[in-house]
Amino acid sequence: MTQLTVGIADYKIGKSPDVLRALGLGSCVAIALYDRGAKIGGLAHILLPTSTGYDGHNRKKFADSAIVDLVNELVVQGARRENLVAKLTGGAHMFESRATDTIRVGEHNVRSCQDALASLKIPVIANDTGGHWGRAVELNTDSGMLKVITVGTGEKTI
Amino acid sequence: MSDMLSSVDPMHLDAFREIGNIGAGNAVTALSEILGNRIEMDIPVARIVPFNSIPDILYGAETPVTGVLVGMSGDMDGYMLVIMRIDDAMKLATRASGTELPAVITPESLNENERGAVTEIANILVGSFFTAICSQTGLTVRLSVPELAVDMLGAILNVAIVEYGMLGESVLLLETRFSDNDIDVNGNFFLIPDYQSYKKLIQSLGI
């Protein structure tokens, strides 16, 4: 088994029994995509909602472009597009009293992920987003289960 | 715009370090009063750090830390974020509130008083830093009420990374160490101006 850590503005693909991890998500969102038949999964760790207006930037930094690229790469590596399902975590609002647009970026990130997945017709089958706490996640590419770990409230699997 | 930070040259870092140095000088007096002991502060180190190497340079992305966020507005808009490890924050907080340092320190160790003390100490450090920035640049900045979060380093730092992420893939980090006879604490400061404010800051510093 290989354990791969996905940094900010990156995505990685693994096949059973690899584990893909993203650590210390605040307003960042981790998008887990999984094909149960092929037992292949991908985990993207995005920072910002939309790539519009950011020509020349790393496409893996944005929800919209990262999701499109990750889906294409999963298909190249053996996933069936119509089998892919998604799970979303992160998108927190770490400092509660802040209300500016930038600091509300977590919500925008989640919405942009949902929009991008909807337009690719990929169902979001589980969701653990929002709140004001950080998360670390682990995608098990054997089962497709996503473990979500927090500092204050323990861990759960979705 | 995409490589604003990668275009920051060493002269900018020298200027930020100098501001940090003056700020640290201001902070020593205030901090010594709160902690009831003469505090020494090292000359701050300023550097440009790629997002994904922060866990290697500071602590792991999932390491619990305290983060105090102070907003700025006026001639510059943005934030300053002060990050300390939980055990460092507890050392300062128990010293400030005259309580016993627990043997085992977890994120839940910080009670209301200690959370207040960490917030106030970070607020003093930020205030000292901004007094230095304003006196060096002639810019006027108002600071907001500080806010504390206790959580994973990566999650708290996300606030800074979002702002810098619109510009490139690095953040500006100022680090300093403060100590007295029996405590030794690292403080990590992230100055988070918005894009326009960063340009204004650089221009005002004459670099």
Supply the pLDDT for residue B182: 73
In our burial notation (b when 16+ CB lie closer than 10 A, e otherwise), range A5-42 reads bbbbbbbbbbbeebbbbbbbbbbbbbbbbbbeebbbbb
Range of A143's domain?
3-157
Where does chain A show beta strands of DSSP type E? 3-5, 10-15, 19-25, 29-35, 40-46, 85-90, 124-129, 135-140, 146-149, 155-157
The pLDDT value recorded for residue B132 is: 83
Return the DSSP state at B109. G
Integer Cα distance of B93 and B61 in angstroms: 23
Checking if the pLDDT of A99 tops 60, the result is: no
Q: Give chain B positions within 8 Å (CB) of A134.
A: 62, 151-152, 154-156, 158
**Residue of B4 and A45 predicted with greater confidence:** A45
Below-70 pLDDT ranges, chain B: 1-10, 207
Closest CA to A1 of A138, A142, A147, A137: A142
Contact criterion met (CB < 8 Å) for A151 and B162 = no
Half-sphere exposure of B182 (CA within 13 A, CB side): 7
Q: Do A24 and B158 touch (CB under 8 A)?
A: yes
- Please say if the pLDDT value at position A100 is more than 60: no
| A95 vs B149, B153, B166: nearest CB | B149
Q: Residue A27 — φ and ψ, nearest 5°?
A: -80, -15
Q: Which of A47, A134, A152 sits opposite B162 (nearest CB)?
A: A47
Which pLDDT belongs to residue B29? 82
- Among residues B132, B144, B160, B143, the alpha carbon closest in space to that of B19 is found at B132
Q: Looking at the predicted structure, is the pLDDT value of residue A30 above 90?
A: yes
Q: In this predicted structure, what is the pLDDT of residue A101?
A: 52
- Taking the C-alpha atoms of residue A141 and residue A30, their distance in angstroms, rounded to an integer, is 15
Higher pLDDT, residue A136 or B16: A136
Give CA angle at B76 (B75, B80), nearest 5°: 145
Domain count, chain A: 1
pLDDT tens digit string along B66-121? 999 998 899 888 888 999 999 889 888 888 887 788 877 787 778 888 899 899 98
- Please state, rounded to an integer, the average pLDDT across all residues of chain A: 93
CB B98 within 8 Å of CB B8: no
Measuring CA to CA, how many Å separate B60 from each of A35, A61, B65, B81? Answer: 30, 21, 10, 18
| Whether pLDDT at A139 is above 60 | yes
Contact across the interface for B155 and A7, Cβ inside 8 Å: no
Q: What is the pLDDT of residue A50?
A: 94
pLDDT at B1: 37
A96–B156 C-beta distance less than 8 A: no
Calpha distance B98→B45 (Å, rounded):
30
Residue of B nearest to A151 (CA): B151
Which CATH superfamily groups domain B10-204?
CheC-like (3.40.1550.10)
Whether the Cβ atoms of residue A84 and residue A141 lie closer than 8 Å to each other: no
Question: Any idea what the Cα angle at residue B84 is, between residues A3 and B150, rounded to 5°?
Answer: 75
| CATH code of the domain containing A101 | 3.30.1330.200
Which of A95, A97, A100, A138 is the best residue to mutate to test the B interface, defined by the most B CB atoms within 10 Å of its own CB?
A95
Give B66's strand partners: B84, B150
* Number of C-beta neighbours around residue B129 at 10 A: 25
* Residue-level pLDDT at B2: 40
Assign A102 a pLDDT band (cuts: 50, 70, 90): low
List residues of A with catalytic annotation: 28
